[in-house]
Structure 1
Amino acid sequence: METLGGIGIFVETAQTQSFIATGRQLGISASAVSKSISRLEERVGVRLFQRSTRTVRLTIEGEVFLERCKRILSEIQAAEDDLSAMTQFPRGRLRVGLALAAGLPLPCLAAFMERYPEIELDLDFTDRLVDVIDEGFDVVIRGSDLSDSRLMSRPLGPYRPCLVAAPGYLEKQGRPSKPSDLMEHACLHYRWRNSGKLYQWPFKKKTSQHNGVALPIAMVCSDLEALLYLTIAGRGIACLPDFAVKDALAEGSLELLLDTHLTGGGTFHVVWPSSRQMAPKVRVFVDFMVEHFATGLVQKKA
């Protein structure tokens, strides 16, 4: 059992490239991670990681060992899934990847936990496009297109971008009637956490620039809920997904702007590996999300 635990810590460290991040993920100290890796290296007789003050990176031997270890853990997971299938109620740890979507999936997740108390959710929120299989996710909810033939997916519902501002802001600063008017306004921007790039407001034509000058930047943040709060507070104009602003629009604390000038949008999907038999815990999660996720969206599934 200690050997298996050491393998699990090794695989997690190979993914995070950090003893601290691995410890945080597994709920143990960084020193415990380091000691486990050292014991494993001593047992196999080779150095698995090159260590520096900031990161740890796999050696050539470590890369070879990693592939074997991932297969071992995959077989253990498959065995657990088989046992789970023999029981009446789905159970076990379910690792779920989720987009940073202004709290959109939270009501569904809470309801799922109530329905299936024997399933232990391990939630990972990020705006990057994760590798579902290589990073060990059981299931992922994301708002991008599916391009990996190793994956299966089901649609959860569509979303689109909205340009919005608070009535108080518009009363003071005026309402833009065309995209070029935004050059005279305070624009609140979203920054992708993974890439550090700004989200580009999706106008139908290249109207996000005026005379070669980018849109003004009054504020930049990497959190949709913070961006929504500051927009409602009257700090400027923001481009947010429709599901994030639907309640504020209904209450009148935000108003829609330049709607006919915007394009883009997408569809949320629930995605899982197709490489093995669908485990009961994955099946009930997928079915539950397909049934309930769209209640938080503006447009429903066709």
Structure 2
Amino acid sequence: MDSLNILNVFVSVAETRSFVATARLMGVSASAIGKSIARLEERFGVRLFNRSTRSVTLTEEGASLLERSRRILAEIEAAETEFSRTTAVPTGRLKISLPLVSDPFIPTLARFRKAYPSIELDLTFDDRRVDVIEEGYDAVLRSGDLPDSSLTYSHLGKYQMILVGAPAYFERHGIPERPSDLKRHTCIQFRFPNTGKLQVWPIRRDDQEIDLQLPTSIVCNNLEARVGFATEGVGIAYLPDFSIRRLLNEGKLLSILEECSESGTFKIMWPSGKQPSPKLRVFIDFLKTNLFAANSPD
């Protein structure tokens, strides 16, 4: 088991490129990590890392050992997962990063906690892009494209982005009949926290997307604010349907310009080369079944 622990240390240093980051993840000192790597290098009689004051990079021998180590650890994880599924109830702590959104995550997570009381949830709600490995997350939930090739992912479900406004707003300003009418309306826009760029609204003419310079009447960096401003009748917002389904059903928001709607997909992502632990496996399966009751692609 000591050999396996050292291999885990080696893989973590190779992935984070940092003794300090690995020490932080494993709850030990950077000196202890350095000694473990030194013992491994002595055992194999080769240098595994090139070290400098700024970075740690793999040597050719280190890269070869990394590939073998990942295979060995993946096989052991697979065996543990297979045996634990039949012998034990999933337990332990799950550290998960989620977008800064209440619905449908909060109700679904509450049901998961009731179904699996032995699993502790350490949840961070944040729209920024996180480093799953370096920050020690078991998994991250996000929409859009896969941002990192070092992550494995599974689809959780689809949603629809739609343009909406409050009835009171449309009574005062009229309902846009064509996309170009939006230029004369108050537009509640979203700025991505990671890039500082504004979200592009899918404005189309004759099935062709056009670059329409929309007013930046209000700019927000989170979903809840945009929902709130739209509901208060301040202007028109481009929102995911799951966040406003109740408001649409109650008539507090109205959908407009259906040709400008666009579909999206939520994914759960975790470090590649690793079989999901039993606790993460049941978490993934539960979300796929419950987060979006319909339209789960997997």
TM-score normalized with structure 1 length: 0.67
Partner-residue secondary structure (3-state), 1:265: strand
Counterparts of 1:162 and 1:238, CA distance in 2:
8
> Contact 1:186–1:236 at 8 Å: present in 2 too?
yes
Cα gap change, 1:81 to 1:132, in 2 (>3 Å): farther
User: Kindly tell me: are residues 138 and 187 of structure 1, through their superposed partners in 2, closer, same or farther at Cα, counting changes over 3 Å?
Assistant: same
- Quick one: distance in 1 between partners of 2:211 and 2:278? 50
Which among 287, 291, 300 is matched to residue 295 of structure 2?
300
Report the RMSD for the aligned CA atoms in angstroms.
4.8
Q: Equivalent residue of 1:114, what SS?
A: helix
In the superposition, relative to structure 1, how do residues 189 and 208 fare at CA in structure 2: closer, same or farther (>3 Å)?
Answer: farther
CA positional deviation for 1:125: 2.5
The equivalent of 1:170 in structure 2 is: 170
Once the 2 structures are TM-superposed, how far is the Cα of residue 300 of structure 1 from its aligned partner?
3.1
Give the corresponding residue for 2:262. Answer: 264
- 1:110 has 2:105 as partner: no
Distance 2:95 2:204 in 1: 38
Counterpart in the other structure of 1:121? 121
Distance 2:197 2:89 in 1: 44
Is the contact between residue 187 and residue 237 of structure 1 (CA under 8 Å) also seen in structure 2? Answer: yes
Query: In structure 2, what is the Cα distance between the partners aligned to 1:90 and 1:242?
Result: 33
CA apart distance, 1:262: 1.1
Once the two structures are TM-superposed, the CA of residue 275 in structure 1 deviates from its matched residue by 1.6
- Partner residue of 2:218? 219
Q: Which residue in 2 is equivalent to 1:92?
A: 92
Distance 1:179 1:207 in 2: 11
User: Could you tell me how far 1:234 is from its partner in structure 2?
Assistant: 0.3
Change (3 A) 1:229 1:152: closer
166-175 or 274-283, which deviates more: 274-283
Q: 1:150 to 1:256 in 2, by over 3 A?
A: closer
1:190 is displaced (CA, Å) by: 1.2
Q: Do 1:82 and 1:279's aligned partners in 2 also have CA atoms closer than 8 Å?
A: no
Q: How is 1:205-216 mapped onto 2 (pairs within 5 angstroms)? A: 205=205, 209-210=211-212, 214-216=213-215
Q: Check 1:112–1:286 CA distance in 2 against 1; reply closer, same or farther (3 A cut).
A: same
Shift of 1:200: 1.2
The Cα shift of 1:256 comes to 0.9
1:238 equivalent to 2:233? Answer: no
Q: Distance in 2 between matches of 1:146 and 1:106?
A: 23
Q: Which residue of the partner structure matches residue 255 of structure 1?
A: 254
In structure 2, relative to structure 1, the CA distance for the partners of 1:145 and 1:126 (3 Å cut) is same
Q: 1:121 to 1:195 in 2, by over 3 A?
A: same
Structure 1: distance between partners of 2:93 and 2:118 = 9
1:204·1:263 contact (CA, 8 Å) conserved in 2?
A: no
Measured against aligned partners, the alpha-carbon deviations of 1:64-84 in whole angstroms (never above 9, x if no partner) come to xxxxxxxxxx9xx99998996
Matched with 1:151 is 152
The alignment partner of 2:162 has SS state of strand
Indicate how the Cα distance of structure 1 residues 169 and 97 shifts in structure 2: closer, same or farther if over 3 A, else same.
same
Where in structure 2 are there 5+ consecutive unaligned residues?
A: 1-24, 30-73
**Displacement of 1:178:** 0.9
Letter in 2 for 1:151: T
Of 256, 271, 274 in structure 2, the residue corresponding to residue 276 of structure 1 is 274
- CA–CA distance in 2 between the matches of 1:115 and 1:136? 25
Cα deviation 1:115-171 (Å, max 9, x = unaligned): 111111122223344444454332232222447375142x22211211011000100
| SS, match of residue 292 in structure 2 | helix
In 2 relative to 1, CA 171–207 (structure 1 residues): closer, same or farther, beyond 3 Å?
farther
**Which residue type is aligned with residue 301 of structure 1?**
S
Aligned match for 1:286, one of 261, 284, 287: 284
For 1:146 and 1:124, the matched residues in 2 are separated by 19
Task: Give, in angstroms, the shift of residue 91 of structure 1.
Answer: 0.6
